[in-house]
């Protein structure tokens, strides 16, 4: 199967390439071409943080053997609780190779949050860094899972120890169904319970596989062999996972950083001269605060942002900070800026808003949003009937990248015709061009991360002095929105400072409220549900009035 270009053609066409096979195909395609650079190597395997396509495949083959030896089997769901290293991707590939399904999880989540994800995904096993395992493995339901630890390079136990004892053990490519679930990424919803989105290899690679077709070393991008991408995105999030998978498919080096530091990234751009940076709006705000306007960022020809709406004025400024796109050897205006729309249920990106190069600061070339190839979009009314062109309604998508459903849930996901309702509102025009008209009030965007109030409120109501709570998002220049809690006390008063300290232990950092206010009753509509808009307006008023939080 891998003696000719058949697998490469299948990957480009989105046919029959399972996640467990993709690194073998890409090793065949790119050989000793460097595809990733980061600060860390893989425990038990080494190679430092610089890997070629062949070394990535070898790491996957060895990790697959270690997982099989640890007892991982076909269709088993496995939590992946690792620091934000490229290893998250490698373990996902390796688990897929033995037929298991990786469930990448942010290790900074609280134990109760990890337990909820384990329950929703049906996980029965965990692979975790040693420090994470030491903190979580004895907690409640997590104690019943089968734990494997990564171990350090000189460890005598864990996966690193096994790899050291079995240096020749490898599992090669195995044919598997590309339409079957090969990755579970958890999302949230309005029910207060995390949902595990079932993503197939075909869906994950339906668009990214096309990147393999670009000629290597000649015109992979504007600068051929010198292309590279800088990103410091969480690999447990669909955006970070898609960027890592996409750069691997393209054979373009990913300069991955496990955490984002604005000054470090600016220095990296100046010294390494990459031509692509991909981040979230909060990162761009931090880059400007760190002095982006005064740094040499002229190597960047493409800026990418996702996970939340990017302010248009900031996008235009970064276009000018970057370098000119060259066409036929001549500089053409400013850098390109791409604002990416996607979500885990769509296996990543579904549409992009493109800010084309402007010939000068005095000329503002209009931006536009378009649906990506292979995906259909429509806008519907409250009865899910398509509305006329240019009329506002809820945005829905259909295509191979749309998830098949949520693990263990038959009451959510796409409808029988394959349409998935995003909860966002838009106006659609001919040619797949559309304009956003706002998003559902049931979602808060904090630094690019989606926070669904109902899920967090379930935890926030556990405080004995609180009868009810509403979590809302208020505008924030850096984060986009920041969470604020409106509290209804059980009796008397609530010490809001003590409550916020308690909440910091109950929910993860980006989801925890940053301010809290006492109110007599939550605003509700005629249907009895919390009026999110009225609650948000109330929180904004209280903040503006300078009330203590």
- pLDDT for 465-521, tens place per residue? 888 888 888 888 888 888 999 998 887 778 899 999 998 888 877 888 999 999 888
What is the pTM (predicted TM-score) of this model?
0.81
Contact 275, 228 (CB under 8 A): yes
Residue 176 φ then ψ, to 5°: -140, 165
Confidence of residue 526 (pLDDT cuts 50, 70, 90): low
More confident residue, 182 or 282: 182
User: Structural domain tally of the chain?
Assistant: 4
For 502, the token pair is: 């308690």
Q: Are residues 425 and 300 in the same domain?
A: no
Contact 141, 151 (CB under 8 A): no
Any idea which of 13-27, 47-61, 88-102 has the lowest mean pLDDT? Answer: 13-27
Confidence of residue 154 (pLDDT cuts 50, 70, 90): very low
Gap between the Cα atoms of 84 and 413, Å rounded: 28
For residue 303, give the 3-state DSSP assignment.
strand
Residue 476 lies in a domain: yes
Residue 336: which H helix or E strand, with range?
A: strand 336-343
What integer best gives the mean pLDDT of the chain?
85
More confident residue, 450 or 337: 337
Confidence of residue 222 (pLDDT cuts 50, 70, 90): very low
Q: Are residues 16 and 115 in the same domain?
A: yes
Instruction: Answer with the one of 166, 192, 207 that is the final residue of a domain.
Output: 207
Q: Give the Å distances, CA to CA, from 367 to 342, 391, 434.
A: 18, 19, 11
Residue 508 lies in a domain: yes
Contact 276, 322 (CB under 8 A): no
Q: Are residues 299 and 199 in the same domain?
A: no
Domain span at residue 512?
A: 444-544
Over range 416-444, report the average pLDDT: 80
| Amino acid 158: pLDDT | 87
Q: Are residues 97 and 31 in the same domain?
A: yes
Residue 42 lies in a domain: no
Cα–Cα nearest to 119, from 142, 101, 102, 86 = 142
Q: Give the Å distances, CA to CA, from 350 to 309, 398, 447.
A: 14, 10, 20
- pLDDT for 343-385, tens place per residue? 899 999 999 888 876 655 555 555 668 888 888 999 998 889 9
Q: Give the Å distances, CA to CA, from 42 to 46, 59, 86, 160.
A: 5, 8, 8, 9
- pLDDT for 229-281, tens place per residue? 999 999 999 999 999 999 999 999 999 999 999 999 999 999 999 999 999 88
Q: Are residues 101 and 183 in the same domain?
A: yes
Confidence of residue 225 (pLDDT cuts 50, 70, 90): low
For 279, the token pair is: 């981040």
The CATH number of the domain where 406 resides is what? 2.30.38.10
Q: Are residues 341 and 405 in the same domain?
A: no
Give every CB contact of residue 495 below 8 A, 6+ residues apart in sequence: none
| Amino acid 89: pLDDT | 97
For 205, the token pair is: 């690679």
Kindly write down the DSSP assignment for every residue of 412-474, as one continuous string.
Answer: SSS-TTS-EEEEEEEEE-GGGEEEEEEE-TT-EEETTEEE-HHHHHHHHTTSTTEEEEEEEEE
């Amino acid at each position: 199967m891998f003696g000719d270009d058949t697998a490469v053609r299948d990957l480009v066409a989105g046919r029959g390439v399972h996640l467990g096979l993709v690194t073998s195909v890409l090793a065949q395609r790119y050989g000793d071409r460097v595809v990733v650079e980061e600060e860390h190597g893989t425990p038990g395997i080494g190679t430092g943080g610089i890997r070629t396509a062949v070394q990535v495949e070898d790491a996957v083959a060895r990790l697959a053997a270690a997982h099989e030896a640890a007892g991982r089997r076909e269709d088993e769901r496995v939590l992946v609780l690792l620091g934000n290293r490229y290893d998250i991707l490698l373990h996902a590939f390796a688990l897929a190779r033995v037929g298991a399904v990786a469930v990448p999880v942010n290790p900074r989540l609280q134990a109760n949050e990890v337990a909820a994800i384990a329950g929703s995904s049906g996980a029965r096993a965990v692979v975790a860094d040693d420090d994470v395992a030491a903190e979580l493995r004895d907690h409640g339901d997590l104690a019943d899972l089968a734990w494997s630890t990564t171990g350090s390079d000189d460890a005598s136990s864990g996966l690193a120890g096994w790899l050291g004892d079995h240096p020749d053990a490898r599992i090669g490519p195995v044919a598997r169904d590309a339409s079957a679930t090969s990755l579970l990424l958890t999302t949230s919803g309005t029910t207060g319970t995390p949902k595990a989105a079932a993503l197939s290899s075909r869906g994950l690679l339906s668009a990214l596989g096309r990147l393999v077709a670009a000629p290597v070393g000649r015109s992979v991008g504007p600068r051929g062999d010198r292309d590279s991408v800088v990103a410091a995105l969480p690999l447990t999030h669909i955006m970070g996972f898609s960027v890592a998978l996409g750069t691997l498919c393209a054979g373009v080096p990913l300069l991955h950083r496990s955490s984002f530091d604005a000054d470090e990234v600016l220095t990296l751009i100046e010294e390494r001269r990459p031509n692509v940076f991909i981040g979230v709006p909060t990162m761009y705000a931090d880059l400007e605060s760190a002095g982006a306007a005064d740094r040499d960022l002229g190597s960047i020809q493409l800026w990418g942002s996702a996970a939340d709406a990017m302010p248009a004025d900031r996008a235009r400024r970064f276009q000018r900070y970057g370098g000119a796109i060259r066409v036929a050897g001549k500089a053409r205006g400013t850098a390109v800026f791409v604002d990416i729309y996607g979500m885990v249920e769509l296996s990543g990106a579904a549409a992009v808003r493109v800010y084309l190069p402007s010939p000068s600061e005095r000329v503002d070339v209009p931006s536009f949003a378009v649906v990506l190839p292979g995906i259909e979009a429509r806008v519907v009314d409250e009865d899910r009937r398509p509305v006329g062109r240019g009329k506002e309604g809820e945005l829905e998508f259909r295509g191979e990248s749309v998830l098949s459903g949520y693990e263990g849930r038959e009451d959510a996901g796409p409808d029988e015709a394959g349409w998935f309702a995003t909860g966002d509102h838009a106006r659609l025009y001919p040619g797949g061009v559309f304009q956003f008209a706002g998003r559902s009030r049931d979602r808060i965007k904090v630094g690019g991360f989606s926070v669904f109030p109902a899920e967090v409120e379930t935890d926030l109501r556990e405080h004995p002095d609180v009868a009810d709570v509403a979590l809302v998002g208020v505008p924030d220049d850096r984060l986009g929105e920041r969470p604020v809690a409106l509290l209804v006390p059980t009796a008397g008063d609530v010490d809001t400072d003590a409550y916020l300290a308690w909440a910091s232990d109950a929910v993860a950092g980006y989801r925890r409220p940053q301010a809290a206010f006492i109110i007599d009753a939550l605003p509700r509509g005629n249907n009895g549900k919390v009026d999110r808009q009225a609650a948000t307006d109330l929180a904004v008023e209280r903040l503006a009035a300078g009330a203590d939080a």
